[in-house]
Structure 1
Amino acid sequence: MNLDFSQIVPYIPFMLKGIWVTLKFVIFSISIGLLLGTILALCKITKLSFLKWLADAYTSIFRGTPLILQLMIIYYAVPQLIGYDISAFLSAVLAFGLNSSAYVSEIIRAGILAVDRGQVEAAQALGVPYQKMMVHIILPQALKNILPALMNEFITLTKESAIVSVIGYLDLMRRAEIVGAKIYRNFEPLLFAGIIYWVMVFILTQIGKRIERRMRQSD
């Protein structure tokens, strides 16, 4: 089969550094996606039609266009308008964070609407302010219902992070491509990168299952 994994051995430390480089921007992206997604979800269930329309329009745009297009617009096109170069790291964080928030907002919105209406009515009857009701009563209950969907979104985000290699960001995928170009062999470094991605996703999946079990036990 003409395979020789010994040639990538000297480059393994270089490729392994890509794990943290990848996880770093994924963590930032997830944080933005979760925060902004929560805000968008609240806007979608509000009685203010303008905020609802704005949140729906945002979701439609980011869900209706390819992630790679959004990434390239932020990295290549936006600097043309503002006259300021955006780093590959910041471009990746913004593109993935903004894109993820559109999907997260739908997940959270569905979770909020799935909470028993009686919980809302009881809180209103007790005079609990809307903000406190959402933070302390509704959102915690919604989180238990949507945790699997949220973990699936974060896992998908981790896998799709390989897209940032197109803008030269030195993530795991980009490092595998560099090694392949240096040794004139692509199968071995790409397979090695694929194994690392699988391990990361497997670990995230197990963490998600453990968190889900603990939340169910706390009911």
Structure 2
Amino acid sequence: MELRFFEIYRNPEYLELLFRGAMTSAGLTALSGLLGFLAALLLAGARYRRMPVLRHVAAAYVEFIRNTPLIVQLFFVAFGLPLLLGYQWPFWGHAILALTLNFSAYFSEILRAGFTTVGEGQLEAARALGVRPLTAFRKIVLPQAIARMYPSLNSQFIFLFLTTGVMSEIGVRDLTEAGMYIDSRTFRSFEVFFTLTVIYILLSLVFKTVLALVQRWLFAWQVAR
């Protein structure tokens, strides 16, 4: 089999499509990951604090998201919700919402597991000192839980990033969509999807490096131990 990678890298249009697709995939994933993490804090906090009603709603939501495929969630958000609620967003807006919902469910379970690792003795000491429960959770439980579960959050983020190629199914011009377009013009499937594989690996390594730097900056006290 003759490999013809030059049909890709010698064409400025294809290189631009790949670059824009990579930036779209990375940008939407990063934004969704951040929003999903913030939502996960609320979900995990509601279940950890055993808030009436809210903890049951949060548990049901997490189980629903974790037991349905991402592509089904994406189609429901992109095509189902607009019909039900009468709104229309651009494709990338639907993708951000679907990814945020997906990220939040997985992140919340990791955070909830981290909350349980904080010793009860620390909370009893806080209560003895007159620290309010919410303050104790925010200043004692939350920092330790995030620091301990940070590697798991990183791994889950990278895994979810590698599944975001389904965004192309609703018209988002991400990296996968760019590859499919190039493949339809060149008919060089092996070369195109090998190139996509390399780009996804490089983006994953970039995310890992950035997240490692963030860990050293936020949790220097834990890394030093």
Q: With structure 1 as the length reference, what TM-score do the two structures score?
A: 0.94
Matched residues in 2 for 1:35 and 1:211: separation? 16
Deviation at 1:24, TM superposition (A): 1.3
Segments ≥4 residues shifted beyond 6 Å:
none
Q: Is contact 1:75–1:87 with CA below 8 Å preserved after alignment?
A: no
CA contact (8 A) 2:26 2:203 kept: no
> Structure 2: how far apart are the matches of 1:4 and 1:47?
59
Alignment map for 1:1-219 (pairs within 5 Å): 1-9=1-9, 10=11, 11-212=14-215, 214=220, 216-219=222-225
1:13-66 residue CA offsets vs partner (Å, 9 max, x unmatched): 221121211111111111111011010001111233311111110111101111
Distance 1:47 1:182 in 2: 56
After superposing the two structures, state which structure 1 stretch, 73-82 or 145-154, moved more: 73-82
- Distance in 2, matches of 1:192 and 1:87, equals 28
- Take 1:135 and 1:90, find their aligned partners in 2: how far apart are those partners? 31
- Residue 75 of structure 1 and its aligned partner are, at CA, apart by 0.6
Measure, in 2, the Cα distance between the counterparts of 1:130 and 1:23.
38
Residue segments in structure 1 that go unaligned for 5+ positions in a row: none
CA apart distance, 1:210: 5.0
Deviations 1:163-210 (A, max 9, x none): 101111000110011111112222212111110100111232344445
The count of aligned residue pairs is 219
Distance (Å, rounded) in 1 between the aligned partners of 2:5 and 2:223? 46
Seq. identity, %: 32
Identify unmatched segments of 5+ residues in structure 2.
none
**C-alpha distance in 1 between matches for 2:109 and 2:24:** 29
In structure 1, distance between residues paired with 2:81 and 2:203: 32
How big is each residue's C-alpha offset from its partner over 1:103-150, in whole Å with a ceiling of 9 and x where there is no partner?
A: 111110110110111111111111112222122111111112101110
The one-letter code sitting in structure 2 at the alignment partner of 1:164 is: M
Q: CA deviation at 1:211?
A: 4.9
* CA RMSD of superposed structures (Å): 1.6
